[in-house]
Amino acid sequence: MKLLIVESPGKIKKLQSILPAEWRVAASVGHIRDLPQEAYGLEPPDFRPVYQITPEKKDVVARLRTLAAEADEVYLASDPDREGEAIAWHLKDVLGLSACKRVTYTAITKDDVEAGIAAPRDIDMALVHAQEARRALDRLVGYKVSGPLSRACSESRLSAGRVQSPAVRIVVDREQEIRSFVSTTHYGVELTFDRVENVSEGWNAVWLPREGWLDEDNPYVLDKAVADRVAAVRSLDVLAFEEKEAATAPPAPFTTSSLQQAAGNALKFTPKKTMELAQKLYEAGHITYMRTDSPNLSETAIAEIRAYADAQGLPLPPAPRTWKSKDGAQEAHEAIRPTHIDVEEAGENADEQALYALIRLRALASQLADAVFAVRVARLGADVDGRQAIFEARGRTLVHPGWKQVMAADAADDEDAEPSNSVPLLKEGATAVVQQGTVSTKKTKPKPRYKQTTLIREMERRGIGRPATYAAILDNIIVQKAYLREEKGWLVPTPRGEAIVAAMQPVFSFMNLDFTKRLEDALDDVAGGKTSYADCVGLAYDTLMAELATFREKTAVPCPACGNRDTFYHNVNPERGWNYWKCKECNASFEDDGGRPGSRKEKKEIPLSEFDCLACGSAKLRRIAGTKNGAAYDFFKCSDDNCGATFNAVDGRPVPREEPTLSEFACKQCGKPLAVKPTRKGGIYFSCTGYPKCKQRYWAKDDNSPDYDNPPK
């Protein structure tokens, strides 16, 4: 048997239908392991990641191990990007594959899959290290900054992100620009002509006050009386006239980013929905891989599209088209396109079909001839108050539709088309008679708020993050964290979004938009083998630690009892009615006084019971009862802290607790013996006997040994 391991279970059916009978296709369901959830997992100076199999993937890993053991050959076919390369390496390491073959393909078609399998290679460790560096940098910022940020903003569960926080800042900056914007009222003039020497009527010209009437210090016409006098002219001289043809090239095929923007504008899909639909189209074999920075198609695809267009009678340019990629683009594979250009409809539902049509028409149009317009531009002048007022009339008529035969407009640009204006054929020196002059009152407007699509465009322009991550980032900062909200499609920062930006921006380099781009360039250097993982992460770590010390000094509140800044925090939870200060170091609690620690909360004294301690006999027991997390507890504890013995409460009386059953295993955390404890479902788990100093627990594996790699949360 030959085993092909892919990421998504959605690919299995299609791939199994392509491959011969001796092949078996299985899925890892994404990553099988990650940095630990309950610990940092990265320690200087080398920052070597400590990985754990994620709890929900234990069964997946067990099944893959069984299949790999039965297979004669194992092929790792995770996605053709850095993330996919890292997944392949994790699979090789966890499954203990001494020999395996890494294969990639950008479309799930018979030809592409067979070509990929026929050209296996080794795992590219430079790409793996680049993914590890990205993950490490994300963990570094999130793990080190989120706690101090929450304390600084007096709100629990806030998070900082290497890419998400700059994205929030972009929206916050725009909102602040809008709030501080002061509108200016100014005036413009448009003339409508009824005839030009009896040739035509119904065309327009607009006044160009910047030519001779305004300067940089006074960019607007503020006096309506001046505009009224300009609008009163009824005869103008034709100063110049130009008639020419202008060609407009088609837009490039879709990259990940431009697909998200176009689907948002044309189909009103969120970036997250767009990527989910594209994933399904890719898994079904309808489109090529949908995570790409390249705007160019393969030579084979171009040849197929040109042949199809020629057969359909569509206009073609003399040579195939290519496009210049944006700086920093990762061009491991071609632009997004249909796998078969002659298939006009594909997809399981209306949304998939609409997205497929968008992708197909964009790819087809990209190889067609230019759209050609006949353009007429006239400059006209008249004397007003002893100065010449210049007007311009511009008209454009489509004469050869070219690519516009299949695609009306570039849906990614979200711009209004140029208005129609039937400018007649004019001669210099002729006279144009005005039918009507209109003064328009205008007000300057601030730049608009961002939409999801325009925020993606801005992030891409600034080099923040990667297009493949944009959908997840926006979902996180809008839906999960609520740093932004949508109002009629526009993004508006929430108070907590503005608070985190205000707290972090003055201190942390990762909030600097240029710094974020430079860090992306450093990750590219790791992928290209130009720098090492440790150097990339180490430099960022040193910078962050220095900035974090400054941040804590500026924002952290010291505990009034012990002075510790790192363990003293403001515990606010409106749902539970909590609003107090607590120190994890000395366990002191304080009332809140306007966002600062107030008077100390005295610990509630539990009265002594009538029973003597069964362990030391020299002190009374306290009966402790209540609920925690919905579960009731009731036990006795010795009032002498040096003893601290505890006993079960049975019928209101203290009863010695049963000694735990010790196992042969030791705690990986502190080295003390592990006790065997029963679970609610009749199984067992292991608990460290070093409690309360060590609270480590472990699930039991099938052979009743502790699962050190996957401790419970």
Q: What is the pLDDT of residues 580-593, one digit of tens each?
A: 898 988 889 999 88
What does the block give as tokens for 5?
């391991």
Helices (H) and strands (E) in the chain — how many of each? Answer: 16, 27
711 preceded by a cis bond (ω within 30 of 0): no
The pLDDT value given to residue 411: 45
pLDDT above 80 (res 119): yes
Residues of the chain with pLDDT > 90, as a percent, come to 69
Q: What is the pLDDT of residues 480-539, one digit of tens each?
A: 999 999 999 999 999 999 999 999 999 999 999 988 888 888 999 999 999 999 999 999
The answer to whether the Cα torsion of 262, 264, 269, 271 is positive or negative is: positive
Q: What is the pLDDT of residues 310-333, one digit of tens each?
A: 999 999 999 999 888 765 555 457
Separation of alpha carbons 213 and 220, rounded Å? 9
Confidence of residue 413 (pLDDT cuts 50, 70, 90): very low
Catalytic member of 75, 282, 289, 470: 289
Contacts of 340 (CB under 8 A, 6+ apart): 109
Each residue of 237-258: b (16+ CB within 10 Å) or e?
A: ebeebeeeeeeeebbbbbbbbb
Contacts of 233 (CB under 8 A, 6+ apart): 191, 382, 384, 389, 434, 437
Q: What is the pLDDT of residues 56-75, one digit of tens each?
A: 899 999 999 999 999 999 99
Task: Lowest mean pLDDT of 313-327, 565-579, 699-713, name the range.
Answer: 565-579
Q: Decide: 372 and 245 in contact? Cβ < 8 Å.
A: yes
Nearest to 464 by CA among 169, 174, 159, 252: 169
Distance from the Cα of residue 526 to its chain's centroid: 21
Separation of alpha carbons 333 and 468, rounded Å? 13
Residue type, 78: S
Residues of the chain with pLDDT > 70, as a percent, come to 95
The pLDDT value given to residue 245: 94
pLDDT above 90 (res 693): no
Instruction: Return the H-helix or E-strand segment holding 522.
Output: helix 513-527
Residue type, 583: C
Q: Decide: 30 and 54 in contact? Cβ < 8 Å.
A: no
Confidence of residue 39 (pLDDT cuts 50, 70, 90): confident
What does the block give as tokens for 253?
């095929």
Residue with tokens 């993950």: 135
**Predicted TM-score (pTM) above 0.85:** no
Burial label, 10 (beta-carbon count in 10 A; 0-12, 13-18, 19+) = middle
The pLDDT value given to residue 327: 59
Each residue of 499-530: b (16+ CB within 10 Å) or e?
A: bbbebbeebbebbebebbbebbebbebbbeee
Separation of alpha carbons 158 and 136, rounded Å? 19
Separation of alpha carbons 356 and 277, rounded Å? 9
Confidence of residue 629 (pLDDT cuts 50, 70, 90): low
Task: Enter the DSSP assignment of 50.
Answer: -
- Average pLDDT over the chain reads 90
Largest CA distance in the chain: 119
Sheet holding 101-102, edge to edge: 23-27, 2-6, 73-76, 101-102
Q: Domains for the chain: give ranges and CATH numbers.
A: 2-123 (3.40.50.140), 133-179+449-555 (1.10.460.10), 185-249+372-443 (2.70.20.10), 256-365 (1.10.290.10), 568-600 (no CATH), 608-655 (no CATH), 661-699 (no CATH)
Residue type, 663: S
Q: What is the pLDDT of residues 174-214, one digit of tens each?
A: 999 999 999 999 999 999 987 555 555 579 999 999 999 99
Separation of alpha carbons 685 and 333, rounded Å? 48
Residue with tokens 């539902």: 349
pLDDT above 70 (res 18): yes
Backbone angles phi, psi at 459, to 5 degrees: -65, -40
What does the block give as tokens for 425?
């054929």
Residue 187: active-site member: no
Burial label, 557 (beta-carbon count in 10 A; 0-12, 13-18, 19+) = middle
Mean pLDDT of 641-655: 89
Which position has the higher pLDDT, 83 or 603? 83
Separation of alpha carbons 160 and 198, rounded Å? 69
Task: Lowest mean pLDDT of 49-53, 148-152, 231-235, 491-495, name the range.
Answer: 148-152
Q: What is the pLDDT of residues 423-477, one digit of tens each?
A: 989 999 999 999 999 999 999 999 999 999 999 999 999 988 888 889 999 999 9
The pLDDT value given to residue 604: 77
Instruction: Return the H-helix or E-strand segment holding 242.
Output: strand 235-248
The pLDDT value given to residue 30: 92
pLDDT above 60 (res 305): yes
Sheet holding 589-593, edge to edge: 568-573, 578-583, 589-593, 596-601
Contacts of 701 (CB under 8 A, 6+ apart): 707
Distance from the Cα of residue 195 to its chain's centroid: 56
Nearest to 275 by CA among 299, 255, 305: 255
The pLDDT value given to residue 416: 41
pLDDT above 90 (res 55): no
Separation of alpha carbons 623 and 650, rounded Å? 11
Separation of alpha carbons 325 and 346, rounded Å? 29
